[in-house]
Amino acid sequence: MVLENKLGITDEILLAREEERITKEKAIALWDNGLFDSFPVGTYKGLAMIHRALFEDIYAFAGEKRTVNLAKGNFRFAPVLYLDAALSGISAMKEDTFDQIIEKYVEMNIAHPFREGNGRATRIWLDLILKKHLGMVIDWQMVDKTEYLLAMERSPIRDLEIKYLLKNALTDRITDRLVFMKGIDASYSYEGYTAYAAEELSVSKE
C-alpha cells in the first residue's frame, strides 16, 4: 500500500525515489545552513523537528507521532497506547557516555514514533547526541548494512553488538561535509534507498 502523500504519487517505486531525492536535499540544506545544531538534542522534540524538516514536503504526518501500531517481521514496536509514556522516558534517559547514548538510541528505535522515516531521522538524532557529548559522530559508510540490521534487530534483547559496531565507526570529523553526505547515503541504503548520491544532489543544487 502506498502511503498518502502530498505529491499525489500512487506508484510505490516512484514515491520512494522522490522521497529519497527530496529528503536528501533537505538534509544537505539543513547541514549547510547549520540548522541541525539548532534542534534540541536527545529528546523526542528534537527528533520530531528533524523528521518534520526532512519529510514535511512529502507527508502530512511529518514530525507527528503515529496513530497506528507498527511491526517489522515478528517484532512489534511500542504500542500507540503507551507511546507518549515511552517517548517521555526516552527523552529523560542519560546520555553522558557512549553506552548510555546507544542505549537511548535503541529505545528510540523500539518506540518508532513515526509512520515512516524513523531510521533515517533517528540516525541523524543519534549523531547530534554523540556530537554534543563526545565530540564524535558515526561514520555510517564504515557500518556494514547487514551487520547493522542484524545488530539492531537483536538490540532490544542484547545491545552489545550494536554498541561494538557503532563504537568502531566513530570519527571526530564532525565538521566534515563529505563525511556527513557519505553517511546520509549509507544511512539511506539500510532502508533500500540508493537511487541518488547526496554529493551529486549537492552539486546539482549549487
Residue 202 lies in a domain: no
CA–CA distance, 180 with 166 (Å, rounded to integer): 15
Q: Tell me, yes or no, whether 18 lies in a domain.
A: yes
66 is a domain residue: yes
**Into how many domains does the chain fold?**
1
pTM for the full predicted model: 0.96
Does residue 161 sit within a domain?
yes
Does the residue 104 lie in any domain? yes
Provide the Cα torsion 141, 146, 152, 157; round to 10°. Answer: -140
Question: Domain of 131: which CATH number?
Answer: 1.10.3290.10
Residue length of the chain: 206
Distance in angstroms (rounded) separating the CA atoms of residues 187 and 179: 12
Asked if pLDDT for residue 203 goes beyond 80, the answer is no
Give the tens place of pLDDT for each residue, 113-152. 999 999 999 999 999 999 999 999 999 999 999 999 999 9
Query: Residue 206: is its pLDDT beyond 60?
Result: no
164-202 tens-digit pLDDT: 999 999 999 999 999 999 999 999 999 999 999 999 998
Tell me if 65 is assigned to some domain.
yes
In a domain, 147, yes or no: yes
Question: What's the confidence (pLDDT) of residue 204?
Answer: 61
Print the domain residue range for 69.
Answer: 12-196
What is the pLDDT, as a whole number, of residue 73? Answer: 82
pLDDT in tens, 31-80: 999 999 999 999 999 999 999 999 999 999 999 999 999 998 888 999 99
